[in-house]
C-alpha cells in the first residue's frame, strides 16, 4: 500500500479543513499516481472534493465510523480500518493509495511501504500534520525530483518552490 501527501517545511498538511496550497503540477502528479487505482480516504476529505463526489476512474474507499453513513455516489463506504483493509485486499497492494486526511494517514501509514510526498519550500499556517518521515528511522527518502516553482496564473500561490519526493519503508 502507498500513501500520497503534500507537506510544508514542518510536515503540515492542512489548515481549517483545507489544503495548504493548490498547485496545478501537484494535482496533475496526484492524478497520474492515483488514476485507475484504489484510494482510501476519510469522509472529511471527500467532502472537500467538487460536489463532494468520488474521484473519477478510481475505486474510492471512504472510511467513516457511523454505520448510517453511506450515501456517497461512486464510492464504497467502510466503517473501520479492518473493513477497509479487507476491501482493499481485493486489489494489488501497489494499486492501493491512502490520500488523507490526517487521521486516515495516521491509521494507515503503518500498512504502507511507499510514500509520495510533495514538499513545499515554505512554512504555512497549519493545524494538521503528517508524520515527519525524515525524522523516522523506519523511512528513507529514495528520490527527490527537480525543484519546481508554482505559477500564479494556475495556482493559489505564485513562486512557491516544491519537490516531488518518494520515500520507502526500510523497517517496521
How much is the pLDDT for 72? 80
pLDDT of 172 higher than 60? no
Question: What pLDDT is stored for residue 70 in this prediction?
Answer: 72
Q: For residue 30, give the nearest of 93, 77, 97, 75 by alpha carbon.
A: 97
Cell numbers linked to 118: 510533495
Closest CA to 160 of 118, 130, 126: 118
Question: Are 123 and 21 in contact, with CB atoms under 8 Å apart?
Answer: no
* The pLDDT value given to residue 73: 84
Q: How far apart are the first and last CA of the chain?
A: 14
Query: What pLDDT, on a 0 to 100 scale, did the predictor assign at position 50?
Result: 79
CA angle 154, 155, 159 (to 5 degrees): 110
**Calpha distance 112→135 (Å, rounded):** 17
Q: How confident is the model at residue 71 (pLDDT cuts 50, 70, 90)?
A: low
The pLDDT assigned to 6 comes to 98
Query: Which residues face 76 on adjacent strands?
Result: 61
User: Could you read off the pLDDT of 87-133 as tens digits, one per residue?
Assistant: 999 999 999 999 999 999 999 999 999 999 999 999 999 999 999 99
Q: Which CATH number fits domain 2-169: 3.50.50.60, 3.40.50.1970, 3.30.1330.40, 3.40.430.10?
A: 3.40.430.10
Give the tens place of pLDDT for each residue, 1-51: 999 999 999 999 999 988 999 999 999 999 999 999 999 999 888 888 878
- For residue 68 the three cell numbers come to 448510517
Amino acid at each position: 500500500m502507498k500513501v500520497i501527501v503534500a507537506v510544508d517545511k514542518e510536515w503540515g498538511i492542512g489548515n481549517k479543513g483545507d489544503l495548504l496550497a493548490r498547485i496545478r503540477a501537484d494535482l496533475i502528479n496526484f492524478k497520474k499516481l492515483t488514476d485507475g487505482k484504489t484510494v482510501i480516504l476519510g469522509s472529511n476529505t471527500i467532502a472537500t472534493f467538487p460536489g463532494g463526489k468520488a474521484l473519477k476512474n478510481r475505486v474510492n474507499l471512504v472510511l467513516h465510523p457511523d454505520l448510517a453513513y453511506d450515501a456517497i455516489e461512486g464510492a464504497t463506504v467502510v466503517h473501520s480500518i479492518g473493513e477497509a483493509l479487507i476491501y482493499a485486499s481485493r486489489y494489488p497492494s501497489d494499486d492501493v493509495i491512502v490520500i488523507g486526511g490526517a487521521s486516515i494517514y495516521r491509521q494507515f501509514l503503518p500498512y504502507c511501504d511507499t510514500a509520495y510526498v510533495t514538499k513545499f519550500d515554505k512554512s504555512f499556517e497549519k493545524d494538521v500534520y503528517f508524520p515527519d518521515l525524515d525524522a523516522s528511522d523506519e523511512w528513507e527518502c529514495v528520490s527527490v525530483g527537480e525543484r519546481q516553482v508554482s505559477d500564479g496564473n494556475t495556482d493559489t500561490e505564485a513562486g512557491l518552490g516544491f519537490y516531488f519526493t518518494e520515500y520507502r519503508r526500510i523497517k517496521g
